[in-house]
Structure 1
Amino acid sequence: MTDATPPTRTERLTLARPAERDLPELHDLHADPAVWTHLPSARHTALAETRELIERYQAGWEANGLDVWVARDTATGALVGIGGPSLRGGVAWNLYYRLAPAAWGRGYAQELIAAARAAASASAPDLPVVAFLLEHNEGSRRAAERAGLEVVWRGPDAGNPDPDAVRLVFADRVLSDEALRVFVG
């Protein structure tokens, strides 16, 4: 698998494997405080953090033939965000989605989620698709609910600097104990 992996297209989005050329825009996205109101401590403050993220997704592509995409508006080429399925522990797909504030409220999350679920199902249909998110992240929670995922676990968010933070695990089916452990320990 190389950067030449053909992009996936939805009605309005072009979804492509992350590449080094995406680094500046992806860093701007991950450094934007508006994107991290639910978890300010995770905001990227150094370009190296974003580079590590891209390298992790590229490694996922190499190992599994599928991972997170860079999402661009097909008509304009503008960055909409990043998202897709990442294989976790060989037992579940983690559904990741992070959109630029200018893209919020336009249905892009549902387009990205639908493409991710279809790709994960085509790659390994026996594995569940999971969205792992903070309860107070309203946008992410609503996106998971609209996609038809259901809460299968609710509990403390281990390691979060906010001791009152609550984590939700949404899934497209009942999770095995092993799959749940991959997300919540």
Structure 2
Amino acid sequence: MGSYLTTERMTLRRFTEGDLDDLASLHRHPEVMRYIDDGRPVARAEVERQLERLLGEYTALPAGQGAFAASALSSGAFLGWFALRPATTPGLTGGTELGYRLLPAAWGRGYATEGARALVGYAFAELGVDRVVATTMTVNTGSRRVLEKAGLTHVRTFFEDWPDPIPGAEHGDVEYALTREAWASQFA
């Protein structure tokens, strides 16, 4: 299947049913899931359901949106995924949401920033969105730094009433955003 987007070191493409093992490996990793949902690894059966939803997004969401598998250009190794979707995360008030998850082997090597910048540019230049947003836990300094390097700025800190709060939840979540106008003045 052809790529959705190619960066200097990665290719992003639509997921297929054949990606289940890689996706399950990513979502069962405790470090990856530390700041996400209930902070616990995800069982393979749930990842199977998640993959079905991801595949359905390609027809349900606006064209060009969804989650895309990221692979290293040099080796083809699965790195994780990046996504653009209508914002539905609790606490967000609209926009197109940027998301990503990478295997720890890809951390600290610039892949998250490279992919985030590419998707932000794609969202504005190709998809014509007006605003890109993202959230993370306040204590997730790594993801906050990636969002800043991608051009997003801190909008606010907010507190949600999570059913099963994870360590760090007492510090809240943060919203980052970038408008098309601000992106054009910085990057275009």
TM value normalised by structure 2: 0.81
| 4+ runs deviating over 6 angstroms | none
Residue 84 of structure 2 corresponds to which residue in structure 1?
Answer: 85
What does 1:20-99 correspond to in 2, within 5 Å? 20-39=17-36, 41-63=38-60, 64-65=62-63, 66-88=65-87, 91-99=94-102
The answer on whether the counterparts of 2:30 and 2:41 sit within 8 Å (CA) in structure 1 is no
Q: Distance in 2 between matches of 1:169 and 1:38?
A: 15
Q: Distance in 2 between matches of 1:154 and 1:69?
A: 28
Q: Distance in 2 between matches of 1:23 and 1:13?
A: 20
How much does 1:155 deviate?
A: 1.2
What does 1:30-179 correspond to in 2, within 5 Å? 30-39=27-36, 41-63=38-60, 64-65=62-63, 66-88=65-87, 91-159=94-162, 161-162=164-165, 164-173=170-179
How much does 1:165 deviate?
A: 4.3
Q: Distance in 2 between matches of 1:88 and 1:40?
A: 16
Superimposed CA distance per residue, residues 58-112 of structure 1 (whole angstroms, 9 cap, x where no aligned partner): 22221322212100001111111111211236x5211001111000011101111
How much does 1:5 deviate?
A: 5.3
Q: What is the RMSD of the two structures over their aligned residues, measured on CA atoms?
A: 2.3
Once the two structures are overlaid, the 10-residue window that deviates more, 157-166 or 79-88, is: 157-166
Q: Distance in 2 between matches of 1:39 and 1:8?
A: 25
Q: 1:132 to 1:75 in 2, by over 3 A?
A: same
The answer on whether the counterparts of 1:35 and 1:100 sit within 8 Å (CA) in structure 2 is yes
Q: 1:5 to 1:75 in 2, by over 3 A?
A: closer
Residue 180 of structure 1 corresponds to which residue in structure 2?
Answer: none
Tell me the SS of whatever aligns to 1:172. strand
Q: 1:151 to 1:14 in 2, by over 3 A?
A: same
Identity %: 33
| Aligned residue pairs, count | 171
Q: Distance in 2 between matches of 1:131 and 1:40?
A: 15
Q: Distance in 2 between matches of 1:157 and 1:165?
A: 10
Q: Which sections of structure 1, spanning at least 5 residues, go unmatched? A: 175-185
Residue 7 of structure 1 corresponds to which residue in structure 2?
Answer: 4
Q: Which sections of structure 2, spanning at least 5 residues, go unmatched? A: 89-93, 181-188
